[in-house]
Amino acid sequence: MGTNNFLPLALGLILFSFLITSTLVVPFIDFLYKIKFTRKKEAPRDGKIPLFDKLHDIKAGTPVGGGVLIILVVTLLFAILFPISSYLGVIVQTAYNLRIELFIIFFTFISFGLLGLLDDYIKMLGKPTKGVLGLAFGLTRRQKFIAQWVLAGIISFVMYKSLGVNILHIPIIGRTLDLGIWYVPFAAFVIVSFTNAFNITDGLDGLAPGLLMICLIAFGVIAAGSLDTPLSLFIALWIGALIAFLYFNTYPARIWLGDSGALSFGATLAVVGLLTGSIIALVVIGGIFVLEITSSAIQILGWKILKKPIFKLAPIHHTFLAIGWEEPKIVMRAWLAGIVLAIFGLWLATI
């Protein structure tokens, strides 16, 4: 890859993406206010107010849609800068067909973003319906779930058919499993799982974007080590945009990702793990996301089997909030745990 030239370029791309996003984010927030693309109150208009709404309706009025800005900035910068990277002394290398790999990365990044944007649009500008607890906004769970599986199926099939990816490496025990055609449903499951895990985690100011930034730094190292130039440069641009966004997303947040960002980023993080062949490392590096969706699954099973909740509130970060932990405290400790998991995941990816 031309490591001596690549590292300065990657660091430069992080800074450049950060500067461009920093310049655009305040006007973008003002634009969201202007079109009233802001979070709505979800508590029922009368009767008992659910605990979730008591904790979160204070955030009503905050603009939603930061994911759209990040997707646009990263996509446009990549389209402009990647073609000229070779002129900057970088040897473009990848183990895959370049066009197919770029298609998979940006099809995931953009298609899941569009699905989330549709959901955000209906949430912000559509009429609410009565939910199980409080008011329900946006697409139904079934609609989103089906759409996610369709998109994930397309991505997984292209990876299997066009890139020839069909193995699962298990570190420590040193085994590599050839999944064959079963790689398609397996990869689709990974993508859908991380899509929803990220979306569930994106419930506190700075929580999910901060954890994602930690994950991307780890995978930036893995991608560079595997000599995957396009993926490495994509991650560098993504990190830079996230840093700028995170400045305005930390407590108290001035802007939220919205489903446009949450669905896109969760799915794309999964694809990054699949392309690098580091699926086990992905589960470890993204361990907080896994914990969040697992806690929600346990809560659902508790209601269905025991007819009572296991946690005070799910996902797990809501439980900490409900028992009195301050929001920044929860986020900072999650970030610290994420750093430790990223180090552990990097170790797994190197053995």
Binding site annotation covers 228?
no
Count of other CB atoms within 10 angstroms of residue 103: 15
Residue 166 annotated as lining a ligand binding site: no
Written as one letter, the residue type at 139 is: L
Q: Is the peptide bond before 315 cis (omega within 30 degrees of 0)?
A: yes
The closest alpha carbon to 257, from 51, 83, 47, 59, belongs to 59
Q: Which residue has the tokens 């900490």?
A: 320
Please count the other Cβ atoms lying within 10 Å of the Cβ belonging to residue 16. Answer: 16
Going by C-alpha positions, the residue among 268, 108, 302 that lies closest to residue 197 is 268
Peptide bond before residue 128 is cis, with ω within 30 degrees of 0: no
Which residues fall in the annotated binding site for Mg(2+)?
199, 259
Which residues fall in the annotated binding site?
199, 259
